Amino acid sequence: MSLQEHETRHIKNTLKRKLTKTELQILAAEWSEHCSYKSSKKHLRMLPTTGPKVINEKGYDSGVLDVGDGYVVTVHIESHNHPSAVEPFGGAATGVGGVIRDILSAGTRPIAIFDGLRFGDIKNDSHAKWLFKNAVTGIADYGNCLGIPTIGGEVEFDKCYKNYALVDVAAVGFGRKEKLIKNHARTGDLVVLIGGSTGRDGIGGSQFASDSLESEDRSAVQIPDPFIEKLIIEAILEARNEKCINAMKDLGGGGLSCAISETAESLGIGIELDVDNVHTREPGLFPDEVIISESQERMLVITNKKKIKKLKKICDKFRIKHSVIGHVKNDKMMHVKKGKRTLALLPVDFVACAPLLDRKKSRPKYLQKIKTTKKTKDISNYSKTILELLSCPNISSKHWVFHQYDHEVGIRTVVKPGFDASVLRLDNGKFLSVKIDGNPKHCYLNPRDGAIGCFEEACRNVVCTGATPIGMVDHLQFGSPEDPEIFWTFMESLEGLTEFAKFLKIPCVGGKVSFYNETPLGPIKPTPLIGVLGIINKTPLHPTPPKSGDYMVIIGNTKNELGGSEYFEYIHNFIGGICPTVDFKNSKSNMSSVLLLIKQGLIRSVHDCSKGGLSIALSEVSIFGNIGCIIDITKVPSEKTLDSEKLLFSETHSRYLLTVSLENINKVKEILSKNKNSFGVLGQFTSDQIIVKYKTKLLIKINVDKAQRKYFNTLKEILDNG
Amino acid sequence: MHVINFIPHISTISVKVGVIVFPGSNCDRDMYHVLTDVFNLSAQYIWHEKRLPKNIDAVVLPGGFSYGDRLRAGVIAAHSPIISDVKKLAKKGIPILGVCNGFQILVESGLLPGVLLKNDSLNFMCEWINLIVKNNTTPFTNKLELNQKIPIPIANGEGRYFVDEHMAKKLKKKNQIVFSYENYVNGSMEKIAGVCNEDGNVVGMMPHPERATEKEINPNDNKPSTLIFESLIQSIGAKN
């Protein structure tokens, strides 16, 4: 039980009576950081959440975007970090299940899953390996069984996640606008619990997630059952078509206590329920356990007495359990009974609105100690360094991961995982491009610029497929908010994201805050994760291989920004330097020029420059295209003259690497000059070697097949060795 | 979704194809889309507890995770009420296609020989591979050339085909191997990817033809996969 002193005082002052045991359990669950956002809620309001495409309805757990022609896309992001760190298979699987139900509860069919996974040093830490392998299997097992394609995400390894795991799952839904559930309820309506039976798993899960991970409390981790979830999806969508659902909410953190209080509060109603009516997995569950259990695969549905028959019939068809647990009242009270006995009687707004906190913040002391420059030894063999970077687990191909996920089911996946953003076709002939990105190495050095950078990177990736960004979701993951220094990093990230979202006019349509991500070695690095959705009206740009003679063109200035780069951290084991900063104006202008070139059909493909800098971006184009290149990096545009180390490895944002045919190169140059974008024609694709020169000096010479072997085999080799 | 240009040789709309839906099927909607929107057939979903209509021209058991793959993939669905109808139609010579989990169900119900074991990687595998046509006399392959390549995706955890040696000989003798993989994929015996019954009208395959017929989602060549469905149309047309 984790009610704090000021909360106990608030209860006493407001209700002026002693609470029952059940009431205390309900409040402890609902007022946990996980459910109540008590540290962050005040500040999250700064994010822009409206726009011409955003549909806001009460009680939605996911963001809804209008994509035209009567269709909507829904999106949500969540994490399951604490559970995955203890029991990676079940933790990751139930993480998928939870976010899928958020999509479902708006009345849309889930059509894609994305996951962001972060673990400790995979090369040397066998525990990190175990966590990673099992989390991937957990996601694969769950998503594949549901028949929802997992089509993208990212994987990163960093020592700051030692003995810990970040498992972030984003899901996208699609449906007809007129079929969205318009949550409403009338007095006398019935409250129905549909799906898995309630058991003792996940008791106190949300409180477990709101503390530092000190004990491995496996009973707080929920047990996954994707088969039941699949039946629920089909049953709920059929019930939606039959108009049997007045209001709906999924059961997640805090179980029934949260679902009931939040639904009642958002609809301005009261709900009375009897715990004896809840179908349970085992006899002898205590009422308090029934109320706060986080057993999975459950949905709360409000229907009326006329529609209940049809709803039951649908549930029976799919053989999923359901019970009418209570009814709607007009007193705005949450009334929990066992038979005739009242166990809890609390005002719903009191339960759903925890007293918010004003956390202190102060600039972390570690930031003063970070060195901004590093004298690295002159690189004698650039080829060797590039090959090392290509086999860095953070850069090498994640084929081992995404080929365990069914990324084809649903027959929407137009651009498959493994490139920049993945692209899905929609029923109105448009395409949806989605990418999630994080970068704790940058965010550690500068939480504000780092967070903006993640946002920009996700935008860049969807732009590379020809999509215009229309919405974003954020997932803000930090250590304990009670530490003012950590809270400062949270506020910096949030303010940065807000500033950039307002500048680009991209609404934030959903998000989540996860605090208390602490490992035995201390807090994790600030890890905001940003998901961006983009729309393509006509044709997406496929990652098409370059042809011999095609030109390689870079858009965007390169700056002296090696801080937090894979080059500094992986090659030199140095944490420091100057974190890349997004120049808002250039960012926007580069994005619109790339989109224009794609629209006019002037470029064969485009790849974004990110981890590993230009050296890795150009290697990747050669690796995927199975073709070599000869380039001169003195052609790379930069504001000041930079040495080859910075030109090759700096992770400056807003840069794109284009493949342009001989036929179009002059038109491309013309448009970029007219739009005043910095750009440079670096060289041409040819033969089977990656050759990089600085004027006449040869820096890099690598056979493409050698680069391919390093890039594609490393992760599998690391995992096969134990 | 977009529809590819397909010029039917017979009045395809009169062809009735039943798509059986088991609890946990998850490629039923994809198959339905391809049958109706791409090939202009009259497909209908049939819930596993219902009867198959008597005038049906063909039956498809789609992929997915029927009953969550509990016990063993396909084994519970093989005991569904509808399977006895499928068996009756199979005897009558009606074309029946099982894809992925549908193949597993056909094997478990005894309509096709062999078993499907866990892949030798022990992992779920989602990849684009090449199939080789080994028998082009079935209702699903008659428009394909012998040894023709079909680029197509697989997505399964239990796709390793196995029969004993005696049975393997028999399969070869009776021309029951319909598809094999071009390269080593998952440890399948003889690289077998699809088989048929002795009469040739019941075909099971692990790869997903419904994921490969449309150009938009096929990064390779979609034409060979379309021939699987065109074969069906031809064989039904030929009979009518």
> A564: domain CATH number?
3.90.650.10
User: CB of A654 within 8 A of CB of A456?
Assistant: yes
User: CB of A191 within 8 A of CB of A326?
Assistant: yes
- pLDDT of residue A649 exceeding 90, the answer is yes
Dihedrals phi, psi of A366, to nearest 5 degrees: -60, -25
B87 in any annotated domain? yes
Distance CA B203, CA B178 (A): 8
B191 in any annotated domain? yes
A561-594 exposure pattern, b = at least 16 Cβ within 10 A, e = fewer: bbbbbbbbbbbeebbbbbbbbbbeebbbbbbebb
* Mean per-residue pLDDT, B183-205: 97
A600 in any annotated domain? yes
**Nearest CA of chain A to the CA of B148: how many Å?**
23
A219 in any annotated domain? no
B138 in any annotated domain? yes
Q: What is the pLDDT of residue A722?
A: 64
What band does B5 get if pLDDT is binned at 50, 70 and 90? very low
Structure tokens at A482: 């009670």
A658 in any annotated domain? yes
Chain B residues inside the 8 Å CB shell of A232: none
What band does A61 get if pLDDT is binned at 50, 70 and 90? confident
Catalytic residue annotation of A: 34, 80
Distance CA A265, CA A133 (A): 41
Q: What is the pLDDT of residue B54?
A: 87
Distance CA A701, CA A699 (A): 7
- pLDDT of residue B129 exceeding 60, the answer is yes
Domain that holds residue A624: 544-722
- Which one of B1, B26, B38, B49 makes the best mutation probe of the A interface by having the most chain A beta carbons within 10 Å? B26
Dihedrals phi, psi of A343, to nearest 5 degrees: -100, -30
Distance CA A131, CA A87 (A): 8
Strand intervals (E) in A374-526: 413-415, 422-425, 431-438, 468-477, 508-514, 518-519, 522-523
Domain that holds residue B43: 12-239
Query: In total, how many domains does chain B have?
Result: 1
User: How far does CA A682 lie from the centroid of its chain?
Assistant: 34
From A469, A511, A519, select the one nearest A490 (Cα to Cα). Answer: A511
Q: How many residues does chain A have?
A: 722
For A5, A27, A573, the CA distances from A10, given in Å and listed in that order, are 9, 12, 49
Chain A residues inside the 8 Å CB shell of B30: 409-411
Q: What is the pLDDT of residue B14?
A: 84
User: CB of A396 within 8 A of CB of A711?
Assistant: yes
A361-395 exposure pattern, b = at least 16 Cβ within 10 A, e = fewer: beebeeeeebeeeeeeeebeebbebbbbbbbbbbb
Q: Which long-range contacts (CB under 8 A, 24 or more apart) does B31-37 make?
A: B31/B60, B31/B62, B31/B99, B31/B210, B33/A411, B33/B1, B33/B210, B34/A411, B34/B209, B34/B210, B34/B213, B34/B214, B34/B229, B35/B60, B35/B229, B37/B1, B37/B3
Taking each helix axis as running N to C, give the angle between helix A447-463 and helix A484-504, from 0 to 180 degrees, rounded to the nearest 10.
40
pLDDT tens per residue across span A328-338: 999 999 999 99
B5 in any annotated domain? no
pLDDT tens per residue across span B53-102: 989 999 999 999 999 999 999 999 999 999 999 999 999 999 999 999 99
Distance CA A689, CA A618 (A): 12
Q: Does B217 touch chain A (CB under 8 A)?
A: yes
Rg (CA), chain B: 16
Chain A residues inside the 8 Å CB shell of B47: 317
User: CB of A167 within 8 A of CB of A92?
Assistant: yes
Q: What is the pLDDT of residue A211?
A: 61
Helix, coil or strand: residue B62: coil
User: CB of A569 within 8 A of CB of A442?
Assistant: no
Dihedrals phi, psi of A275, to nearest 5 degrees: -60, -25
Work out how many CB contacts closer than 8 A connect A with B.
86
Q: What is the pLDDT of residue A449?
A: 98
DSSP-assigned states of every residue in A375-406: -PPPPS-HHHHHHHHHTSTTTS--HHHHTTS-
From A228, A266, A251, select the one nearest A301 (Cα to Cα). Answer: A251
Task: State the SS3 of B91-147.
Answer: HHCCCEEEECHHHHHHHHCCCCCCEEECCCCCCCEEEEEEEEECCCCCCCCCCCCCC
Distance CA A397, CA A393 (A): 8
Q: Please, what is the average pLDDT of chain B? A: 94
pLDDT tens per residue across span A582-621: 999 999 999 999 999 999 999 999 999 999 999 999 999 9
Distance CA A478, CA A524 (A): 7
Which of B2, B34, B155 lies closest to A408 in CB terms?
A: B155
pLDDT tens per residue across span B41-56: 999 999 999 999 989 9
Structure tokens at A17: 């009576």
Which H/E stretch holds residue B235?
A: helix B223-239
Which strands, in side-by-side order, build the sheet including A413-415?
A: A413-415, A422-425, A431-438, A527-536, A468-477, A508-514
Which of B2, B65, B214 lies closest to A145 in CB terms?
A: B65
ipTM: 0.94
Query: In total, how many domains does chain A have?
Result: 1
For A136, A234, A301, B26, B65, the CA distances from B23, given in Å and listed in that order, are 25, 9, 22, 9, 8
User: CB of A75 within 8 A of CB of A46?
Assistant: no
Q: Please, what is the average pLDDT of chain A? A: 94
Q: 């839904």: which residue's tokens?
A: A173
What is the maximal distance between C-alpha atoms in chain B? 47
* Mean per-residue pLDDT, A539-546: 94
A16 in any annotated domain? no
pLDDT tens per residue across span A142-162: 999 999 999 999 999 999 999
Which H/E stretch holds residue A229?
A: helix A226-241
Dihedrals phi, psi of A222, to nearest 5 degrees: -80, 160
CATH code, domain carrying B62:
3.40.50.880
Chain A residues inside the 8 Å CB shell of B127: 403
B2 in any annotated domain? no
High-pLDDT (> 70) share of chain B, %: 95
* Mean per-residue pLDDT, B20-44: 97
**Nearest CA of chain B to the CA of A542: how many Å?**
9
Strand intervals (E) in A32-137: 54-55, 63-68, 71-79, 109-119
User: CB of A342 within 8 A of CB of A274?
Assistant: no
DSSP-assigned states of every residue in A184-210: ---TT-EEEEEESPB-STTTTHHHHTT
A437 in any annotated domain? no
- pLDDT of residue A60 exceeding 90, the answer is no
Q: What is the pLDDT of residue A3?
A: 86
Between strands A413-415 and A71-79, the pairing is unpaired
Between strands A413-415 and A298-303, the pairing is unpaired
CB-based contacts of A187, cutoff 8 Å, min separation 6: A269, A328, A329, A330
Q: What is the pLDDT of residue B2?
A: 46
From A398, A505, A493, select the one nearest A453 (Cα to Cα). Answer: A493
CB-based contacts of B121, cutoff 8 Å, min separation 6: B186
Task: State the SS3 of A112-128.
Answer: EEEEEEEECCCCCCHHH
Which of A227, A404, A411 lies closest to B217 in CB terms?
A: A411
Q: Which neighbouring-strand residues pair with A74?
A: A64, A173
Helix, coil or strand: residue A408: coil
Which of A231, A317, A409 lies closest to B155 in CB terms?
A: A409
Which H/E stretch holds residue B203?
A: strand B202-205
* Mean per-residue pLDDT, A96-120: 96
A614 in any annotated domain? yes
Across the interface, whether the CB atoms of A410 and B157 are under 8 A apart is answered: no
What is the number of other CB atoms lying within 10 angstroms of the CB of residue A360?
A: 12
Q: What is the pLDDT of residue B4?
A: 47
Distance CA A564, CA A570 (A): 10
Burial status of residue B185 (CB atoms within 10 A of its CB: 0-12, 13-18, 19 or more): buried
Rg (CA), chain A: 26
Q: What is the pLDDT of residue B238?
A: 62
For A25, A401, A553, A555, B195, the CA distances from A591, given in Å and listed in that order, are 50, 30, 15, 10, 51
Chain A residues inside the 8 Å CB shell of B26: 145-147, 230, 409
What is the number of other CB atoms lying within 10 angstroms of the CB of residue A17?
A: 9
In this predicted structure, which of A199-213, A298-312, A425-439 has the lowest mean pLDDT? A199-213
Which of A227, A405, A427 lies closest to B24 in CB terms?
A: A227
- pLDDT of residue A494 exceeding 70, the answer is yes
- pLDDT of residue B152 exceeding 60, the answer is yes
From chain A, which residues contact B within 8 Å (Cβ)?
137, 140-141, 144-147, 225-227, 230-231, 317-319, 402-414, 416, 425, 427, 429, 542
Q: What is the pLDDT of residue A614?
A: 98
Which strands, in side-by-side order, build the sheet including A333-338?
A: A247-250, A298-303, A190-195, A322-329, A270-274, A333-338, A341-347
A441 in any annotated domain? no
User: How far does CA A300 lie from the centroid of its chain?
Assistant: 25
Helix, coil or strand: residue A709: helix
* pTM: predicted TM-score of the whole model, two decimal places: 0.95
pLDDT tens per residue across span A402-434: 999 999 999 999 999 988 899 999 999 999 999
From A167, A169, A82, A80, select the one nearest A117 (Cα to Cα). Answer: A167
Distance CA A621, CA A649 (A): 16
Across the interface, whether the CB atoms of B211 and A411 are under 8 A apart is answered: yes
- pLDDT of residue B6 exceeding 70, the answer is no
Chain B residues inside the 8 Å CB shell of A408: 126, 153, 155, 208, 211, 217
What band does A215 get if pLDDT is binned at 50, 70 and 90? low
User: How far does CA A315 lie from the centroid of its chain?
Assistant: 32
Catalytic residue annotation of B: 100, 208, 210
A594 in any annotated domain? yes
- pLDDT of residue A357 exceeding 60, the answer is yes
From A420, A421, A531, A533, select the one nearest A475 (Cα to Cα). Answer: A531
